Structure 1
Amino acid sequence: MTLPHTVALSRLTAAPLVSPNFEALISIRPQLLQNCEDLPPYLLLPEVERLLMAAPNRHAAIIFNLLWQTGARINELLALNFDDIELLHGHDDGMMITLRTLKQRTGNNQKPQRGRPKRGLKREVGVWCPKLRHEIIEYKRTFKRSNDKPLLVNPQTKQPWSAQMVRNWFKEAASALEQQGQALPIDVSPHVLRHSYAIHLLLHHVDINTIKENLGHRSLKSTEVYTTIWKSERYYNLRNVPFRSALTTS
């Protein structure tokens, strides 16, 4: 089962929703990524839609959608309990998702640790997607997840899905799209969706401080790397400005 895409935007900080020219933005992306060293690889909405629809199973579909709509790091997402999700009523069926901000946790052996972060700053990210909200409720009911237990769990092992398994699902989805003649232009991963989320919010004029808070960045400098995307908009806006030149030749 796959979930249709929806756009998660802050209703309080976003400008009126006007769809960017994604075709133009896609065409100029290779030049931007080549010339702007700090700009990370990203997908744009039409490409993300294809990826979400190619999720290989129900678990992958929910994880892909949550990554896309929260900008979470993969370890933050896999640590979610159901009680980290506040279901809002009377607000277009939205949700507030509490993420424990953690770039990477390591144990004594310096290897990434799994499970729920014990400490760290928390942040709340609004998601406005009735279909995803409904699917999370049904997912909890189907797999009998307690409020205080990890939500995204392998039903066979009863353990949280590993980040590697999620990365394998991304490869599987990308391979399926390639076989269908709809190959994505970059290698996809959970972190690519995080970058894509940030770019998507910028393109819809969500203020950069909101994006910083949603991503869990300590410094605004970490968020500002995404603003290079505005170069593409400046390039294409100039195409619509009429100039008239009266040239003379001798």
Structure 2
Amino acid sequence: MIMNPVALQNSPERISALSIAPGVDFSMAIALRRIATSNGVTPFYLLAPEVSALLHYMPDRKHHFLFSTLWNTGARIGEACSLQPESFVLDGPRPFVRILSEKVRSRRGRPPKDAVRLVPLSDRSYVHQVISWMATARPRRREPIWSATDETMRNWLKAAVNRAAADGVHFSIPVTPHTFRHSYIMHMLYHRQPLKVIQSLVGHKDARSIEVYTRVFALELAGTLAVPFTGDGSDAAAVLRSLPPQS
């Protein structure tokens, strides 16, 4: 029997093998996203395999490094623009990055302590990417790593999306630099990180800003309950008929 290679590549087993988080099925996660974002309240986000695919279409190391940073830290694009080599602390067992809040980065003088948040870098491959970039690009210790305009960075992303489309890879949601921040939050939620922890890592003052993402997991739970609502009307009527009238 000759197997269809296209059907084999797109088999449910192959799709389910895409890594999101332990016990998370890619097809189900896509379906939940479609429902959750349909009313315009839940922000658009990419799932981990989609981010990996999108980064694959960024052959320029500088572009790849920028959007990998957004994905690994949840930083806003403006916050990423302020990152310098000294922002990264990579020695020791728990590498992290210092991110200066976008709202205060343009102010003069030393920023207040609560304006700088510390974000752990838990992905070893990304940490190696940072180390490699610093060793080869050799940026100055206190100069911005990415000296480009917001529009230029958006064009880098558009080019990657277009390369993906030309290769038959399409994304069902609009993709902007801020999409990576939403994706980081959802990825952390899929890995069951507490809301308060995520709120602190992304610098949200109001917990309600994080709670809008959790509707996806309300849908997920409802889907696993499999609550039936349909019964046999004839049998129900027969039982009710045998009961005395209710006062």
Q: TM-score, normalised by structure 2?
A: 0.77
CA contact (8 A) 2:70 2:80 kept: yes
Q: Letter of the 1:185 partner, please give it.
A: S
Match of 1:50 in 2: 53
Alpha-carbon distance between aligned partners in 1 of 2:109 and 2:230, rounded to the nearest angstrom: 61
What is the rounded CA distance, in whole Å, between the counterparts of 2:108 and 2:168 in structure 1? Answer: 39
Question: Would you say 1:31 and 2:25 are equivalent positions?
Answer: no
AA aligned to 1:27 is A
Shift of 1:235: 3.2
- 1:97 deviates by 0.4
- The structure 1 residue matched to 2:157, chosen from 170, 173, 185, is 170
**Seq. identity, %:** 30
In the alignment, structure 1 segments of 5+ residues that lack a partner are 1-5, 8-16, 106-112, 153-159
Return the index of the structure with the highest Cα Rg: 2
Match of 1:148 among 142, 151, 162: 142
Note the C-alpha offset of 1:104: 8.2
Once the two structures are superposed, what CA deviation does each residue of 1:191-247 show, in whole Å capped at 9, x if it has no partner? 0010011011111110001111111111112121111111231233124x7999788
**TM alignment of 1:124-135, pairs within 5 A:** 124-135=118-129
The 5-angstrom pairing of residues 111-122 of structure 1 reads 119=111, 121-122=115-116
| 1:99 counterpart SS class | strand
Q: Which residue of 2 aligns with 1:3?
A: none
RMSD: 2.8
Deviation track 1:151-191 (CA, whole Å, cap 9, x = no partner) reads 23xxxxxxx12222221111111111111111111121110
Alignment of 1:62-73 (within 5 A): 62-73=65-76
Higher helix share: 2
What's the CA shift for 1:26?
0.2
1:223–1:104: structure 2 CA closer, same or farther, 3 Å change rule? farther
* Number of residue pairs the alignment of both structures matches: 216
Runs (4+) off by over 3 Å: 115-120, 241-250
So what's the TM-score if we normalise by structure 1?
0.76
Q: Counterparts of 1:117 and 1:133 in 2: how far apart (Å)? A: 30
